[in-house]
Structure 1
Amino acid sequence: MQNKFEKFLIVCIIVSILASGLSLVSRMKAEAQLNQVDIYVDYFEVNELARQSEHNTVWWLDYFRQLGATHVVLEEESLGLLRQALKPLRVDVGQDILKEWNWQKTTPSALAAYHETVGIRDYDVVIMTEEETLYQQIAAGLHSRYETDRFTLQPGDDGSVIIIHGTIEDAVYNPPADLTDFEGQNYFRERRLHSSQLTRLGLGFDQDKISTIQQAGLQVMPRPFSYGDWGGETYLRGYLDDLTTHEIIPDILFFGGKQLPGAEDESLSLLTSFMNQHGIRAGLVETSFQREHLEQEGIETLTESLDYQAVRVFNVWPFVQERYRFYHYDGAEEIENTLYRAVTERNIRMIYFKPFKESTTVYVTDPEEYATIFQRFETRIARHGLSLGKASVFPEAHPSLALQSLMALGVAAAAVLLLRKLFPLSDRVGVILFLMGIVPLIFLLFWRTGWGEKLTAMAAAILFPSLGMDHFCRQMWKWHQQKKRFSYLQSMKEGVVLLIQVSLISSIGALLVAALLSDVRYLLEMDIFRGVKISQLIPIAFYGLIFLHYFGYLRSEDRLAEPGIRPTEIRALLMENIKVLYVAAMGFLLVAGYIYIARTGHEGNLQPTEIEMIIRNILEESLLVRPRTKEFTVAFPALLLGAYLASLRYKSLIFLAGLAAVIGQTSIVNTFSHLRTPVLVSVIRTAYSMAAGIGFSVIYLALMIGFVWLLERWGVRLWRLMEKTE
C-alpha cells in the first residue's frame, strides 16, 4: 500500500508529465511549420559536370531548376579558381621563386626591381601575368576588399606583378615525408612548402558566371570566404557592396572559411544589419559526421542576432557524391537515402547539392539519373508533409522556466521513489532527499539555464528507465513466487502488457528530455544533450541493484518472499571465487557493451555492416520511419519473454532477459534525446519498434517453449544415459 508521501511523489510525476506535454505541444507546432526544403546547387561542380557531358552549364543549371533547385552557390573568384580555369597567370610563393636559379631572367623585370628595393619574402604570394585585363581584374578585386598596405602592384612592359604580403601562418605544407638512405634507414623528415592560404582570398564575383546562373532562371547564393584578419571590415564592406551592385541577394547565406566576415575585428554587426534588412537567413552547415554544424567563429553570434532565423544545411560531401551504385543499387538510390534521412530525421531544410560521381573524378552525366532521384526524393518526403520550396525556419522559441521547474519536480520525485524502492527510507528522510534534489535543480534552471535543463534531462533519462526496470523485476518476482508455468497464450498476454507498462514508465523520461531541451538552440543543434551515453550506462547499474533487491545473490527460496538489498549477499558476490565461466561471460558482456556504446551515434569507428544498411534502407522505404534494430530484434522481445522465464523460475535467465530489456528502455529515451529529430518521428519510431518487437516475440516464444520441451524430455534421458555409461 502507498502512504501519503508516496502518493505525493506520484502526483509530482503526473504534474511533470502535464508540464512536459504543454511544452511539447509548442515544440511540435514549431516543427510542423518546417514543411519546406530548399535545394541549392554548386556552380563549380555543375560546371565540371557540363565539361564531361554533351550539355553546357546553362543547360544543366536549367535542368536542376526544373527538378526543384532555386539557387546556385557561387564562390568569389580567387587565385586558386583562376588557375583552375587555366587563366594566363603564374602564382608562386616567394620561397619557390628565390630557390629557382637565375629566376630574374624567367620572371618579369618588375619583380626583379621589387626585389632590389623591397625584397621578396619566403611566404609572399607572387602573381605574374602578361594579360593586362587579368592584371586589372585581380588588382581591382584586392583594392575592393583589402587594405592597400597588404599587397603591392608592380606593372611592367614585359609582364605585370602583384605581391600579396604573407607570413608563415599563411603557409600550406605537403604532408611530411620520411627520407631514407640506401640501406632504408631513416635519414631526415622533410616538410615542403606547397602553397599559401592567400590563394583562396576572395577577389569579387565574376559577372559572366552570374549572368550564366540568371540565364538559367536561378538565383545566386554568393558564398564569401573569410580568412583570418583578411576578412575584416574592409573585406566585409566590399563583399556587401558586390551583393547590392550585382543584385544578388540570396534567401539563405552560409559561409566558407574558419570564421565569418567581420568576426576577427568585431565588425560582424555590419553583416547582421545587412541580413536583417534583406531578410536573409543564416545557414548552419552540418558536419560530415552528421552532428552539430561546422565550427566557424561568429556563426552563433550571428544566428542569435538574427533571432535564430537560421536553416540547417546538408552538404553533399565528396564521400556522399561517390555513393553511386552503392550497396548494390543500380543508381544513386543510396544518395537519395542519405538526403531523405537528413531531411526527415535531422531538421535539415536546405540541401547543398553536388552532382553524383562514379569515382573521385568522373561525374554521372545521364540526366535521367538525376530526374529519377529527385522525383523519388520529393515523393518520399511528401509522406512527412514536406515539399520543395523556400526553406522553412523555426520560430524563436524558448521553453518556459515555470514549466521546466514543474518538470524538475517530477524528476526529483522519481529519484526519491527509486531510492525508496531499493532502501528502507522513512518519510522524513524521503522529504529531505526530495528537497535536496529539487532545490538545486530549480536554482540551476534559473541561474544557469543550460546547465540546469541538461542536468534535469540527464536525471530524467536515467531515473525513469530505472523505475521501469523496477516494475519489470517486481513483476518477475511475483510470477516467480506463484510457481505456476504459463502457457503460450498466457505468456504472450502477460508479456505484452508488461512491455507496454515498462515502456510507458521509461517514456516519461523520454518526454521530459524532449520537453526540457526544446529550446530552438537544441533544435538547430547549436547546443546538444551531452548526457546520452551516460544515461544509457547508469540504468544498467541500477538494474543490477534492483535485481539484487528482489532476487538477491544465491538467496534461498524461503527468503525470496522478503525483498531487500542485503550486505551479506553483496559481500558474498564480491568475495565469490572467479570461475573460468564467469570470466568468459564477463568478456562477452564487455564486448557486447563496447559494441552497444560504439554503435550509438555517428562518430564511432564501429558502423553498421553492409547487410544491415541494406535492411535499414528497405525498412525506410517501406515505413514512414525506420524502427531501431536493437529494440525490436532483441530488447523488447527479451522483456516480453520475461513472463515465460519467470514462470519457469530460472533466475539467471530472468537476469539476462532484464539485462537485454534495460537496453531497450534506455534506447527509448535515447530516441527522444536526438533533439534535431521531430517528436512525432520519434513517437512513430518507438511505436514501430514495439509492434515489431511483439511480432518477433511470437516466434521467439514458440522456439523457446519448444526448446524447453525438448530439454525436459531428451535432456533427462541423456543425463541418465551418461550415468549408465559411467
Structure 2
Amino acid sequence: MTHFKYNRVLLVLIMVGLLAALTIGWQRHQVEENNTTVELIMDYEDVVELAQVEGVPVQRLLAQVKAAGITSLAVYETTLEKLNKSGKVTAVSGAQILHQQRLGTLSDPAWGSLVEAGSIKSEDVYITGQDQAVFAEVKSDLIRRLDDERVTVLYAGNRQVLAVKASFEKVEKWNLGLPTDEMQEVVSQGFFVVARPTNYTKVQAEDVQAVFDRLAPIEQVSSIMFVGDEILGYPDAVAVTANYFKQRQLTLAMIEHPLQLQFVKQEGLMQLAAANQYQAARVYVIPKDEQPKLKIDEAVQRWVVTDQERNIRMNLMRKYDKPEAGKTLIETNLEYISRVSQALKEAGFTIGRAGTYQPFFPNSWLLALICVGATAAGVLYLTLLRPFAAKYQYLLLVVIAALLAFPLIKGSGMLVRQAVALTSAIIFPVLAMTWQLDRWKQITAPNASLLRIIGIAIPSLAITLALSIIGGFYVAAMLGDVRYFLEMEIFRGVKLTFVAPLLLISLSFLVRYELFKTAPGESRNIWQQAIKILDFPVQIKTLLVFGAAAVAAWVFVGRSGHTAGVPVPAIELKMRAFLEQVMYARPREKEFMIGHPAFFLAVMAVYRQWPAALLYGLVVLATIAQGSLVETFAHLRTPIFMSFVRALDGLAVGLIFGIIAVLGAHILYYIAFALGRGTAKHE
C-alpha cells in the first residue's frame, strides 16, 4: 500500500497563507462593522395615496410615518398625468378643445378666443397652470425633453398656454423632471429625499446639469436611485454625473436584482459607482407580486435577514394595500414600519442615512502570500494522489506561485484572484477529507462501541471543518474588497465548487481503498478500478440506484447558485425561517442534514468494516458539507463573521443530526439482525 507523506514545507506555506488571509479578514471585518446604518424608504406617492384613500391630511400621515421609523421618501419625476390629477396643471388635447367648441360646452372664453384665432390644432397638446412655479418647471422640462420647436407659448388673455407638438396619450405619461414642490415638502417634514430621475434621449452635459440644478436648493438629498435602463448621463456624460455626485457627496443607490444576484440592469451603473469612489449602497425591495402574500411577521423577518446577510443598507418599503384584521389600513402600515425599524435595531443596526463602505482593497503582498499558500495546497494534493520527489514539488510550487503572484504585486490580477479563490474553494475541502481517509486507513482496532464511534466522530468532524475552513478564509480574503461587498463583482464558479470536490475526493478514495475486492496480485490502481466499475453487471436494482443518484445530483447542482432551477419545498422554507429566528446565522441544510451525518456514518462504516462502496458513498456525501461551508465564504456580500458563524452553527446542528444518524443505523442493524435470526429459526 502506498504511504502518503504530508510535506511539512508545504504545510508551513499553507499556514503562512492562512495568516495573511486572517489579516485581511480582520481588516475586512472592521470595514463591515463600521457600516451598520440602514435607511428606511417609502415612495412619497405611496404616502400621499394612502392619505387620500383613508381621508386624512397628508402632513399628518407624513408625521406618523416618520415617527414609525421611515427616514427617507423617494421622489420620482412628475408627469402631466400626475399633475392633471393633482390639479396643479391642466393638460388637454387640441381635439378635445375643438370638440367642446363644436358642442358649445367650451365655457372658458380664453380658450374660445384661441380657437377663433385658429391657434388650436387637433393634433397638439395644450397646457395651462395656476401654480406659476410648477408651470415654469413643466415648461422647462418639456423644452429639454423635446426642443424649442415642439414647445411654443400662446397667450389666452393674460395666461400663458403651452402648445406641444406630441401625442396626448403618450406625452401625458412622459417623465418630465423632479418636482421641486414635492422635494421641499419632504424636507420640511424632516425626511431625506431619495431622488429618482431618468435619463434623457441623446443626453448632453447640460441635461445632467439641469437635474442637479433642480436638486441644488434641496439640502437633505441622501442618495439618487435611477429609474429605467440607464443612469443619468449614459453613455457620454457619465463623468459629468459623477462629478456632481462627488460635489454633493451623494450615495449611489444600486437596486438588487429580483434573483438576488447583483443588480437590476442599468447601463453605466458600475462605471458611476467606481467614479464615485464606491460611495454606494445596495437597495432591496420586496417584489410587488410577493408582498401581498407575506404576513407582517414574515416581511419583518425578511428585512432583518436581508440586511444582515446581503449588505442591504437601503430598504425601499412598499405599502400594504389591504388592512390586517381589526386594524385600519393606516394602522396596518404604521405597525409594519415600526416593527421593521424595531427589529433592525434589535439586530444591531442603526436607522438613518444609509451607511457606505470605505473603498477597501487588500494589500497586494498579503494576496501574494495567499497565492503561495493556495499553490502549496494544490501541490500537496497532487502528492497525495501520486507521491513524487520533493525537488519537483518545490519547482512546481515556485513556478505556479510566481506566475500567480506577479500580477498581484503589479497591482492588477483580478483573474488571478478569481482563479486562486476558486482553487481554494475546491482543494481545501478535499484535503481535509483526504487527511481523514489517511487517518481511517491507520485504524488497527475495529469494532468499536457505539459511544466510542460517536466520541471519535465529534472531534474528527470538528478538525475536518477547521481544515476545510482554511479555504473559506482564503476565498474571503482573495476577493475581500469593496467591489465584492457591493456585489459589483462576484465569485465565479459556484457550481464547480459543488461538483469538483466530489470528483477529487473520489480520486483520493480510489488510490487508498479498493472499491471492489480484487484477486490476489491484481492491480488496484485508479484505471483498473474504473475498468472494473464499467464491467460491473447492470441489474434493475443497479439502474434504480444510478437513477436515484442522478436525481440527487440534479437537485444538488440545481439548488446551487441563484438561477431558478429546483424549487424549494414549503416545509423546508418553514424550517429555514425557524432557524433564522433561533440562530445567528442559518446553517445550510446540505451541511447539517446530509454532509455531517454522513461523516458520522463514515466513521461508523470504518469501525464496523462496512463495504468500501458504502464507505465511498458516505465520504462523497461528507465532502458535500465541507465544500458547502467553504462556498459560504464565496458570498462576499455576506459579512465574513456571519459566514464563519454559519459554519459553526452548521457544525453544532450537524453533530446532533450525526448522533441521530448513528443511533438510527445502530437500531436498524439490530432490527435486521433480529429479523434474520427469526427467519433462520423458522426455517
Is the pair's TM-score, using the shorter chain for normalization, greater than 0.5?
yes
Partner residue of 1:335? 299
1:491 to 444, 447, 453: 453
% identity of equivalent residues: 23
Give, in whole Å, the separation in 1 of the partners of 2:676 and 2:619: 26
**C-alpha displacement of 1:516:** 0.5
Give, in whole Å, the separation in 1 of the partners of 2:553 and 2:137: 59
Give, in whole Å, the separation in 2 of the partners of 1:335 and 1:112: 60
1:420 aligns with 2:420: no
Give, in whole Å, the separation in 2 of the partners of 1:393 and 1:204: 25
In structure 2, the CA distance between the partners of 1:40 and 1:378, relative to structure 1 (3 Å rule), is closer
In structure 2, the CA distance between the partners of 1:556 and 1:255, relative to structure 1 (3 Å rule), is same
Q: Give secondary structure in 2 for the equivalent of 1:41.
A: strand
Partner residue of 2:550? 590
Q: Is the 8 A contact 1:476 1:654 kept in 2?
A: no
In structure 2, the CA distance between the partners of 1:478 and 1:344, relative to structure 1 (3 Å rule), is same
Partner residue of 1:34? 35
In structure 2, the CA distance between the partners of 1:154 and 1:559, relative to structure 1 (3 Å rule), is farther
Aligned AA (1:216): Q
- The alignment yields a C-alpha RMSD, in angstroms, of 3.5
CA shift digits 1:185-209 (9 cap, x unpaired): xxxxxxxxx96599332234151x3
Partner residue of 2:538? 578
Aligned AA (1:200): W
Q: Is the 8 A contact 2:375 2:401 kept in 1?
A: yes
What pairs up with 1:357-368 in 2 under 5 angstroms?
A: 357-358=321-322, 365-368=328-331
Q: Is the 8 A contact 1:324 1:358 kept in 2?
A: no
What pairs up with 1:400-549 in 2 under 5 angstroms?
A: 400-445=363-408, 446=410, 448-479=412-443, 482=444, 484-549=446-511
**C-alpha displacement of 1:316:** 3.6
Partner residue of 2:204? 232
**C-alpha displacement of 1:618:** 1.9
Give, in whole Å, the separation in 2 of the partners of 1:569 and 1:300: 51
Q: Is the 8 A contact 2:38 2:355 kept in 1?
A: yes
1:625 aligns with 2:603: no
In structure 2, the CA distance between the partners of 1:493 and 1:130, relative to structure 1 (3 Å rule), is same
Aligned AA (1:252): S
**C-alpha displacement of 1:702:** 1.4
Partner residue of 1:59? 60
2:193 to 213, 220, 224: 220
Aligned residues: 667
Give, in whole Å, the separation in 2 of the partners of 1:437 and 1:536: 24
1:203 to 148, 162, 177: 177
Q: Is the 8 A contact 1:483 1:649 kept in 2?
A: no
Aligned AA (2:507): L
CA shift digits 1:647-669 (9 cap, x unpaired): 12122321221122111111101
Q: Give secondary structure in 1 for the equivalent of 2:360.
A: coil
Q: Is the 8 A contact 2:558 2:565 kept in 1?
A: yes
Deviates more, 1:107-116 or 1:145-154: 107-116
In structure 2, the CA distance between the partners of 1:203 and 1:376, relative to structure 1 (3 Å rule), is closer
What pairs up with 1:339-350 in 2 under 5 angstroms?
A: 339-350=303-314
Give, in whole Å, the separation in 2 of the partners of 1:720 and 1:86: 95
What pairs up with 1:139-154 in 2 under 5 angstroms?
A: 139-142=138-141, 145-146=144-145, 148-149=147-148, 151-153=150-152
**C-alpha displacement of 1:558:** 7.2
Aligned AA (2:628): S
In structure 2, the CA distance between the partners of 1:323 and 1:197, relative to structure 1 (3 Å rule), is farther
In structure 2, the CA distance between the partners of 1:664 and 1:670, relative to structure 1 (3 Å rule), is same
What pairs up with 1:178-327 in 2 under 5 angstroms?
A: 196=170, 199-207=173-181, 209-229=182-202, 231-245=203-217, 247-266=218-237, 268-325=238-295
Give, in whole Å, the separation in 2 of the partners of 1:373 and 1:625: 24
Give, in whole Å, the separation in 1 of the partners of 2:151 and 2:657: 74
Gapped regions of structure 2 (runs ≥ 5): none
**C-alpha displacement of 1:235:** 2.2
**C-alpha displacement of 1:628:** 1.6
TM-score by length of 2: 0.88
Give, in whole Å, the separation in 1 of the partners of 2:4 and 2:664: 44
Deviates more, 1:5-14 or 1:371-380: 371-380
Q: Is the 8 A contact 1:110 1:160 kept in 2?
A: no
2:125 to 113, 124, 127: 127
In structure 2, the CA distance between the partners of 1:349 and 1:486, relative to structure 1 (3 Å rule), is same
Partner residue of 1:182? none
Q: Is the 8 A contact 1:221 1:252 kept in 2?
A: yes
In structure 2, the CA distance between the partners of 1:718 and 1:518, relative to structure 1 (3 Å rule), is same
Aligned AA (1:261): L
Q: Is the 8 A contact 1:320 1:335 kept in 2?
A: no
Aligned AA (2:231): L
Deviates more, 1:106-115 or 1:76-85: 106-115
**C-alpha displacement of 1:226:** 1.4
Aligned AA (2:125): I
Q: Give secondary structure in 2 for the equivalent of 1:322.
A: helix
**C-alpha displacement of 1:470:** 0.8
Q: Is the 8 A contact 2:495 2:561 kept in 1?
A: no
In structure 2, the CA distance between the partners of 1:574 and 1:390, relative to structure 1 (3 Å rule), is same
Give, in whole Å, the separation in 2 of the partners of 1:372 and 1:709: 56
Partner residue of 2:623? 662
What pairs up with 1:63-142 in 2 under 5 angstroms?
A: 63-82=64-83, 85=86, 127-129=125-127, 136-137=135-136, 139-142=138-141
In structure 2, the CA distance between the partners of 1:450 and 1:196, relative to structure 1 (3 Å rule), is farther
Give, in whole Å, the separation in 1 of the partners of 2:117 and 2:516: 91
Q: Give secondary structure in 2 for the equivalent of 1:251.
A: strand
In structure 2, the CA distance between the partners of 1:420 and 1:389, relative to structure 1 (3 Å rule), is same
Q: Is the 8 A contact 2:320 2:329 kept in 1?
A: no
In structure 2, the CA distance between the partners of 1:548 and 1:367, relative to structure 1 (3 Å rule), is same
1:708 aligns with 2:669: yes
Aligned AA (1:155): L
TM-score by length of 1: 0.83
**C-alpha displacement of 1:130:** 6.5
CA shift digits 1:85-120 (9 cap, x unpaired): 57775678x9xx99xx9999799988997999xx97
Aligned AA (1:243): L
Give, in whole Å, the separation in 2 of the partners of 1:369 and 1:102: 46
Give, in whole Å, the separation in 2 of the partners of 1:5 and 1:660: 25
**C-alpha displacement of 1:323:** 3.4
Q: Give secondary structure in 2 for the equivalent of 1:608.
A: coil
**C-alpha displacement of 1:696:** 1.7
In structure 2, the CA distance between the partners of 1:137 and 1:611, relative to structure 1 (3 Å rule), is farther
1:695 aligns with 2:656: yes
**C-alpha displacement of 1:713:** 2.8
In structure 2, the CA distance between the partners of 1:16 and 1:394, relative to structure 1 (3 Å rule), is same
Q: Give secondary structure in 2 for the equivalent of 1:282.
A: strand
CA shift digits 1:604-631 (9 cap, x unpaired): 2433222222222222222222222221
Aligned AA (1:273): N
Gapped regions of structure 1 (runs ≥ 5): 121-125, 167-193, 326-331
Q: Give secondary structure in 2 for the equivalent of 1:409.
A: helix
Aligned AA (1:311): A
Q: Is the 8 A contact 1:145 1:234 kept in 2?
A: no
